[in-house]
Homo-oligomer: A and B are copies of this chain.
């Protein structure tokens, strides 16, 4: 839900949730931004079905009218992408949580790790290429990923999205970041900045810090503006 919180408060346009899974991040944007609409883009049929089922629930009728599911591969290009419903400049914001490093998680022999690294490079490039095509000029992009992906993320947005803001997400004070959220703007050229980090928990215990709780629960946007 930190990814959803990267969309500014008061956002009124169309957000694409790329690799939406069952749609949680997109739904979180719709919940906080009452005038927003969402495209939930998901390749896996099971996940797309869950998203559609959620939208069809009677209690979600209002939200359902503001969301649609596109069951397709985020990495489609050109005419195939447009035919799937992802037209050029069709969105004001894209959010993504690429599933890039599962292979590394499952197994870590060097050969597999290298293979996964190659996959990672291509995956960020492919996903950000689609975001570049579908987000209008000056529209936004937010990515949540692991810190080790910074290089690949920055290479992928180079010349496409700029004025990037990087937010490290730390589990506890004094501990290394477990995630980063990168937000950037289509066609902007400003230098990358690193804002204050978000720390999820205190020194001990499972309770969220007040800042993390507000962002995770949709009470506020992750960035001040």
Contact = CB atoms under 8 A, between A and B. Distances in A.
Interface string A80-95: 0000000000000000
Given A151-B158, A155-B151, A195 B176 contact: yes
A168 B194 contact: yes
A111 interface: no
A202 interface: no
Interface stretch (A30-38, A40-48, A142-150): A142-150
Contacts of A194: 147, 168, 176-177, 180
A62 interface: no
A148 B180 contact: no
B196 A174 contact: yes
Contacts of A146: 191
Interface residues on A, range: 20 to 34
Contacts of A170: 196
Contacts of A99: none
A150 B184 CA distance: 15
A112 interface: no
A48 B166 CA distance: 37
A175 B192 contact: no
A13 interface: no
Given A154-B154, A196-B174, A196-B175, A166 B191 contact: no
Contact of A148 (B113, B175, B177, B192): B192
Contacts of A147: 166, 191-194
Nearest to A169: B194
- 3 closest Cβ pairs, A-B complex: A148-B191, A151-B154, A177-B194
Interface of A: 110, 113, 146-148, 150-151, 154-155, 158, 166, 168, 170, 173-177, 180, 189, 191-197
